[in-house]
Structure 1
Amino acid sequence: MHIVLDRRPDGGVAATELDAAAMPHKAVELEASALIAYVRDREAEHPRWVWSSTAHWYPALLAAGVRVQRCVDLALSHRILRTSLLSAASELAGEAATSWDDIARLAAAPLAEPSAPALFDVVEPATAESLDPVREFQAQQAATPGGPLRLLLAAESAGSLVAEEIRFTGMPWRADVHDRVLTESLGPRAFDGRRPARLEALAAQIRELLGAPGLNPDSQPELLAALRRVGLDVTSTRKWELRELDHPAIAPLLEYKNLYRLFTANGWAWLDTWVRDGRFRPDYVVGGVVTGRWATSGGGALQLPKNIRRAVVADRGWKLVVADAAQLEPRVLTGLASDGAMADAGRGRDLYDSVVAAGVVTSRHEAKVAMLGAMYGATTGDSARLMPGLRRAFPRAIALVDHAAEQGERGEQVVSRLGRTSPRPGASWREVQERASQPGASAADERRARSQARDWGRFTRNFVVQASAAEWALCWMAELRLRLAEVGDGSLDGAPHLVFFLHDEIMVHTPEQFAPQVERLVRGAAAQAGRLLFGTFPVDFPLQIATVDTYADAK
């Protein structure tokens, strides 16, 4: 059963139940104040709620203590269907841009005040025609063939529920521990725009060693000029280039850069902005990367440094269950290619160690370099040297990514396991390719065209793997969310619940007595995600799981 929620011009809500053929029954007209009770009552029937954007309907329900099991996020689904090759023949994919395209772009915009959401804070372009979610849902149903694409839309919508629930509950965060980490690393907090003591001391040391008393080490042009004045041939101030230099100022400069990164990315200003009431609330953007990976619109949840993870501490009587999927992308590639030899190598053991044991390479490091080179298209150095051996050992897997690269070099699109489709190259890319194919094209034109074609081929080579891995992670979270809801009272404040996600890693905050059960559920959900994507093909997705008091102890 589907129930479509639509905001009326008068501020109320129309709730329309659809039958099995997606045909609407008469809408129930609700006052805004009645929506919470209506959703709570109907949720007992386990409907799939259909709304414009989870990010703008669900927060108010969560604030009122109402969780929903399933939904259809029309904005996220619209974005996928408009670009997927699996729905390219549909009317929805072929129609001119509508307000739903605007909603799909704006769905990532964070709410102004996530702790106190408006009841229907749905973003709609001021000049757009009236949105009709019933009609849009019917168009999406017609555009969605059975099988993989339908699973992708369900997983993407489930991901939107996970993202909002994580944002609502937040990750447990000890501000006092965070402050202590900063003080230990940087010195006491300074105000009025001044640097903390450790940074200031390093800045003074750098100025003295470079003979530049007025140098601002935070200014890239000033620092570059100072380095050149002492005879250092540098083109940038990037860390990798600085590490190649021999000068007394380099060591304190590298230390300064590391500490400055901590100060600016996760310092006291970050703590003041993002941590409230003992919780960090990540602002996830579902499908924010073209491959379907999540992004963040603030807070940097996808880049929490290890020392800051000491501040992520379970509540008293609770534990953190942290799990990450070992070598996720190579294992997804195994399933994509149905490569039996690669599946055997990774079954019940470390895939890279197995590659070494098979004599393909001589060390685990080489195995990792070779595998990453295969998926990311590295064509020089160790990756190129090791590729022939990897191709002989796993011909089906390497042939799959090679084919994806060839498609990209021709300007074609590629498709993930469930149907997410890569974008087309831009107009300038096509112009370069066309110019090189014309009579009288110069050697420079041809070199540029080949270079750009190879670059796009590397993108499509990785797209099929990374996008499919993102789909596996979505299915993992969606399945785990449903399983966790059956533990204890299933609430977000007294039972296990997801509080963090990072590509191939999840964190569950759980009452201590449920921790062993949560570990089993995490493993079961991972196995189910593998079955959903690859059926009976025997590819393993082993997990590294740690039940800890603080995130820093998980690895």
Structure 2
Amino acid sequence: MGARSGRGRWRGRRPPRSGRGARRAGDAGDGPRRGRAEPARGHAVGVAVHRRGLPPPCSPRGCESSGATTSRPAETLLLGHEGRYGEPRSAAAALARLRGGPVPPDPPQRSAEPGSQSSLFEPQGVHLPLADLLAVYAEQQRRHERAGHPDRMRLLTAAESAGMLVAAEMNRSGLPWRAEVHRAVLHDLLGERYAGGGEPRRLAELADEVSTAFGRRVRPDLPADVVKAFAQAGIKVSSTRKWEIESVDHPAVKPLLEYKKLYRIWVAHGWSWLQDWVREGRFRPEFLAGGTVTGRWVTNGGGGLQIPKVIRRAVVADPGWRLVVADADQMEPRVLAAISRDPGLMEVAGRESDLYQSVSDRAFSGDRAQAKLAVLGAVYGQTSGDGLKNLAALRRRFPRAVAYVDEAARAGEEGRLVRTWLGRTCPPAARATDEAAEEAGIPLSEDDTQRDAQQWVPGYASTNARARGRFARNFVVQGSAADWALLLLAALRKTCAELSAELVFFQHDEVIVHCPEEETAAVVTAIREAAALAGRLTFGETPVRFPFTTAVVECYADAK
């Protein structure tokens, strides 16, 4: 039973553990450890260089390797392109399909261990002799030739393989992390910890304030208890989401919102997280390249892509080193310009000036905020509020861009395959799997059923045509952006290999390079050049620019 404190409140609840094998928090952060990851012997991305400076698609030469990893990037992309998303994608499965035999299921995904430095190329127990791998490789080459745009498909496969190598190296390098700074931040935010691992002092105080406001004991960490308390106070709410309760006139709202914010930090990045995930001055989540159907990356444990800004204070460069934090500027509309080949939008995206301001000058009487809403509304399928009016204005000025995403939406609604510029394919709804359902979707529109409107639906797996259409509209842009980012990382990795600099973090449109202070100028230049090269390789010669905003800092929190 937990310790008793405050106004008779029991402090026995512990935050969920983020993993096994934890050490004491005092053991975390005892010094850096560097070094590039070594891919498994003979893995495709480790044995050859593609003619564009990228690895070849799943070349098996020189090894008897684990089929689970050697051919997986190519097989996954090819199966998707052929409308067979969800089928087993290991080399053993590809060989069975080639020979007409029973297809074995994929080995289970290995779970990430907190503090581990396991490689993405770690064998999964399915080994094939070289002759079989060569047969699979030859068939995959033939399947690339049958794609609608073979050169693009080969480039995508090579880029995906390169992304896997970058991810493995980032897992090995780790993000610099000061455990003592993290602990100080937690103490400032949450106060002292109670014995037994219960809620820290500040959360206990806020919980008591919430209970006092309701006139009875309420558990603010239990949404059902809070909803019931509001109902007893004569206020109807369906959830405790911030957007729903922040406008409610009740004295419990302010401490409740603060409690929820601090509770998330305590659970997701608190003391338990620190002792589980930070080792030798490094945070090492397991980055998974192409972890979603759009090609975006995910992490297998540790919440590596959801680091709150206040916790970023703990991300501090080593002495004499700096963090180069680079954010792609207005990536979605630039990608839309490149894939739609809209002359007006390409001209705007090729200017040195702010893209949204340029769009506003042409279509929205200089109202930048309105222009941004219109462009993002076209990408995400917004039809509520001023969405339709904004879309009409955008269509008059940039007809090919709007027509491009409109056609993708129609294809999605009709159940047709939708592809990125290079050929990554959105899974057909009829073949959606349990694995596919894990992908984040989009909410249904206002005129859909009330039940569905309150939930997030995996758009590409949805049987609702409109939901799938909105997902497809977004997929062609977000997926093409993810493909471009892979080529950016591959080019940047090539430059960093000639320096002491190391790639340590990547998230959609943000990349962090950890480097000696004297290399910062070279890294900033390398990022700019890699972005331009990735644009040319992905989309061909267009006037579209892909600029980055870069910050050279000692602490990640100072970058934004």
Label 1:276 to 1:361 Cα distance change in 2 as closer, same or farther (>3 A).
farther
Shift of 1:188: 2.0
Cα distance in 1 between the residues matched to 2:117 and 2:469? 46
Amino acid corresponding to residue 261 of structure 1 in structure 2: R
Equivalent pair of 1:329/1:466 in contact (CA under 8 Å): yes
Counterpart in the other structure of 1:481: 493
1:428 deviation in Å?
Answer: 9.7
1:361-440 mapped onto 2 (5 Å cutoff) = 362-426=366-430
Q: Which has the higher contact order (CA 8 A, sep 6+)?
A: 2
* Contact 2:83–2:428, Cα closer than 8 Å, also in 1: no
How far apart, CA to CA, are the structure 1 residues paired with 2:221 and 2:101? 44
User: In 2, Cα distance between the equivalents of 1:193 and 1:130?
Assistant: 53
Alpha-carbon distance in structure 2 between the residues aligned to 1:526 and 1:427:
35
Counterpart AA for 2:257 = L
Q: Could you tell me how far apart the structure 1 residues matched to 2:390 and 2:81 are?
A: 34
Q: Deviations over 1:94-136 (max 9, x none)?
A: 7679667615xx4x5345587465998411369x999943322
TM-score, structure 2 normalization: 0.77
The residue that corresponds to 2:525 in the other structure is: 520
Q: Cα offset for 1:73?
A: 4.3
The within-5 A match list for 1:261-276 is 261-276=264-279
Aligned residue for 1:134? 134
Letter in 1 for 2:110: A
Equivalence map 1:42-81=2 (5 Å): 73-81=70-78
Kindly provide the CA deviation profile for residues 335-368 of structure 1, in whole angstroms up to 9, marking residues without a partner as x: 0011121122222121111112224255222122
Change (3 A) 1:97 1:275: farther
Distance 1:518 1:400, change over 3 A: same
Which of 151, 157, 161 aligns to 2:161? It is 157
Whether the 8 Å CA contact 1:82–1:92 is kept in 2: the answer is no
2:188 counterpart residue number: 184
Q: Is the 8 A contact 1:293 1:470 kept in 2?
A: yes
Distance 1:313 1:113 in 2: 20
Point out the more displaced range, 152-161 or 357-366.
Answer: 357-366
Larger CA deviation: 231-240 vs 353-362: 353-362
Match of 2:125 in 1: 124
3-state SS in 2 of match to 1:218 = coil
Q: Distance in 2 between matches of 1:118 and 1:247?
A: 51
- String of CA shifts for 1:73-111, please: whole Å, max 9, x gaps: 4112211111114999xx9697679667615xx4x5345
- Residue 329 of structure 1: how far off its partner (Å): 1.1
Among 451, 467, 478, the residue aligned to 1:455: 467
Name which of 294, 297, 304 aligns with 2:297.
Answer: 294
Q: Which amino acid aligns with 1:154?
A: A
Kept after mapping to 2: 8 A contact 1:189/1:268: no
Where do residues 158-177 of structure 1 align in structure 2 (5 Å cutoff)?
Answer: 158-177=162-181
Asked if the contact 1:415/1:421 (under 8 Å) is kept, the reply is yes
Aligned 8 A contact 1:87 1:144 in 2: no
Quote the offset at 1:393 in angstroms.
1.3
Q: Does 1:196 align with 2:200?
A: yes
Aligned-residue Cα RMSD (Å) equals 3.5
> Is the counterpart of residue 310 in structure 1 residue 313 in structure 2?
yes
Task: Decide whether aligned partners of structure 1 residues 474 and 507 sit closer, same or farther in structure 2, where only a CA change above 3 A counts.
Answer: same
CA distance in 2 between counterparts of 1:51 and 1:248 reads 64
Which of 318, 322, 325 aligns to 1:322? It is 325
Q: Structure 2 vs 1, CA of residues 100 and 147 (structure 1 numbering), >3 Å: closer, same or farther?
A: farther
Change beyond 3 A, Cα 1:114–1:268? closer
Tell whether 2:513 aligns with 1:508.
yes
Does the C-alpha gap of structure 1 residues 142 and 37 become closer, same or farther in structure 2, counting only changes over 3 Å?
closer
> Contact 1:310–1:550 (CA<8 Å) still a contact in 2?
yes
Q: Is the 8 A contact 1:481 1:498 kept in 2?
A: yes
Out of 537, 546, 550, the position equivalent to 2:551 is 546
Distance 1:298 1:454 in 2: 33
Tell whether 2:531 aligns with 1:530.
no
| Sequence identity percentage | 44
Contact 1:243 1:250 in 2 (8 A): yes
Q: Distance in 2 between matches of 1:44 and 1:293?
A: 25
Q: Equivalent residue for 2:258?
A: 255
How far the C-alpha of 1:541 sits from its partner, in A, is: 0.5
CA distance in 2, matches of 1:451, 1:241: 28
Distance verdict in 2 for CA 1:392–1:270, change over 3 Å: same
How far residue 478 of structure 1 moved from its aligned partner, in angstroms, is 0.6
CA distance in 1, matches of 2:40, 2:154: 30
SS, match of residue 381 in structure 1? coil
Report the 3-state secondary structure (helix = DSSP H, G, I; strand = E; otherwise coil) of the residue aligned with 1:426: helix
8 Å contact from structure 1 (residues 313, 549) kept in 2: yes
Alpha-carbon distance change, 161 to 304 in structure 1, aligned in 2, over 3 angstroms: same
Q: CA deviation at 1:260?
A: 0.7
Give me the whole-angstrom Cα distance separating, in 2, the residues matched to 1:121 and 1:272.
Answer: 25
- The answer to whether the 8 Å contact 1:355/1:361 transfers is no
Would the aligned equivalents of 2:419 and 2:426 in 1 still touch at CA under 8 Å? yes
- State the AA in 2 paired with 1:405: A
Shift of the 98–152 alpha-carbon distance from structure 1 to 2, 3 Å rule, reads farther
Amino acid at match of 2:164: S
TM-score by length of 1: 0.78
1:467-510 superposed Cα distances (whole Å, 9 cap, x missing partner): 100001111001110111122xxxxxxx1010000101100000
1:160-190, CA deviations, whole angstroms, 9 ceiling, x for partnerless residues?
A: 0010100001010001111111111111233
Partner of 2:361: 357
User: Counterpart amino acid of 2:482?
Assistant: A
What secondary structure does 1:322 align onto?
strand
Indicate how the Cα distance of structure 1 residues 121 and 167 shifts in structure 2: closer, same or farther if over 3 A, else same: closer
Alpha-carbon separation, structure 2, partners of 1:277 and 1:81: 40
- In 2: Cα distance, 1:242 partner to 1:509 partner: 41
Q: CA deviation at 1:142?
A: 1.7
Report the CA distance shift for 1:138/1:230 in structure 2 as closer, same or farther (over 3 A). same
Give the equivalent residue in structure 2 for 1:492: none
User: What are the ranges of 5 or more consecutive residues in structure 2 without an aligned counterpart?
Assistant: 1-37, 86-92, 434-447, 453-461
